[in-house]
Amino acid sequence: MRPLTAHIDLDALRHNYRQARRYAPDARAMAVLKANAYGHGSLACAHALADRASAMAVACLEEGQALRNSGIQCPIVLLEGFFELGELDTVITDGYWSVLHTRWQVEALLDRLERWPQHRVTVLVKCDSGMHRLGFAPEEVGEICRLLRSHPGVEQTLLMTHFATADTPDSPLLTSQLDTITTLQRQLDLPGCFANSPATLSVPASRHDWVRPGVMLYGVNPLEPDHALHGEIDQALKPVMTLESRIIAVRELAAGEPIGYGARHVTRHPTRVGVVACGYGDGYDRHAREGTPILVDGQRAAIAGRVSMDMLTVDITGIPDADIGSRVTLWGRDVSGAVLNVSEVAQWCDTIAYTLLTGILPRVPRQYHQVGAPDALSDDPLPDAGATGTPS
């Protein structure tokens, strides 16, 4: 078999969820599992969290149905709501929690609820507090919420917003978004759901009734490196995905020899090059620059030459024991315990960890690891798995 595998540590995922609860102890946490759980495999991740997550959040009904059909029972939130009328009957009758961000969604939902008098729904009204992506203008939110709360088919209304700069220390935009949404929440007296990962970890005033951690669950530190809490969060989170492969060939090159497509790298001195079974056809970023870090048998080495579709090349001159069969960690935790952070690799690719993780293609087999069986962990002191919130 081709040696490339994405190892998924489900104990680390559970640990990271627990960290979200530890940082926001008075809030319930909906685990964001959209985009195939940020590339980690949504079903395995959902089931690993099923005994503790108060809710799970996905991007669309199809992602939600995949979880429901696999036996997930906690509330499932559709972060962009429904996209067309054809989804509404399922949203209502199967009890999905829908975000509402436009008037047509509100009108369509209230209209369709007439067909289903025996069903009551939970909705999240999204306020655009300043990010200017989805949501109602703050001055519209009161009217929308009153409309929904007065309808007998609406059981619970949450107030929601999303922050644009929660990862950045002292962001004026974050302060302004927080002011806007907390003022609204006070006026409307609704449960609030505002905080993504960086806000969950570093902005206590954003936590309220629900938090929505995503990338932190997968062990990625969501704070900018100059954030005062960055070091603490690095210690608190554990990487979930380890992308691992092997060296499949070794070249001994003299000085002045090119490596790979475009001859981007030309050796300056005699160089040993390892060829690794992993490329952009697997989702590894082709933008990886010369010097992008990589672990070979747990030791740091550097990419030399362009990433090609199924392979990449690494300078192993400084690791004389490395040879065909040597273990290569593209990111994550090597079996020796050495860690190469996906965020560090992302910087070398001029991107962010989110794109690297979500970019790993189905061609790469995921292998799931879970040492702590759910039963062994069921003495977890966190109280509220499966809680459904307080009706408004």
**Cβ contacts of residue 360 below 8 Å, gap of 6+?**
6, 39, 241, 243, 282, 283
- Asked if residue 1 belongs to a known ligand binding site, the reply is no
What are phi and psi for residue 66, nearest 5 degrees? Answer: -60, -40
Catalytic residue among 34, 38, 280, 284: 34
> Which of 79, 108 has the CB closer to ligand PLP?
79
Contact 304, 281 (CB under 8 A): no
> Which of 153, 389 has the CB closer to ligand PLP?
389
Provide the angle, in degrees to the nearest 10, between the axes of the packed helices 138-149 and 172-188: 30
What Å distances lie between residue 182 and 37, 157, 161, 365, CA to CA? Answer: 29, 16, 10, 44
Whole-angstrom Cα Rg for the chain: 23
**34: annotated active-site residue:** yes
- Token pair 């680390």 is found at 12
State the minimum distance, in angstroms, from the CB of residue 300 to ligand PLP: 27
**284: annotated active-site residue:** no
State the minimum distance, in angstroms, from the CB of residue 180 to ligand PLP: 16
> Which of 101, 246 has the CB closer to ligand PLP?
101
Nearest CA to 161 out of 146, 147, 169, 173 is that of 173
State the minimum distance, in angstroms, from the CB of residue 99 to ligand PLP: 8
Is 129 an interacting residue with respect to ligand PLP (CB under 6 A)? no
- Asked if residue 149 belongs to a known ligand binding site, the reply is no
Catalytic residue among 17, 38, 96, 261: 261
Is 196 an interacting residue with respect to ligand PLP (CB under 6 A)? yes
CA distance 86 to 96: 14
Out of 213, 283, 293, 332, the residue judged to bind ligand PLP by CB under 6 A: 213
Out of 64, 75, 214, 239, the residue judged to bind ligand PLP by CB under 6 A: 214
Residue nearest to ligand PLP (CB): 214
Footprint (CB under 6 A) of ligand PLP, residues 274-313 = none
Out of 13, 49, 124, 215, the residue judged to bind ligand PLP by CB under 6 A: 215
Footprint (CB under 6 A) of ligand PLP, residues 148-177 = 162
Total site size for ligand PLP, rule CB under 6 A = 11
Footprint (CB under 6 A) of ligand PLP, residues 216-235 = 216, 222
Footprint (CB under 6 A) of ligand PLP, residues 18-77 = 32
The binding site for ligand PLP (CB under 6 A) comprises 32, 79, 162, 196-197, 212-216, 222
Residues identified as active-site: 34, 261
Residue stretches of the annotated binding site for substrate: 133, 309
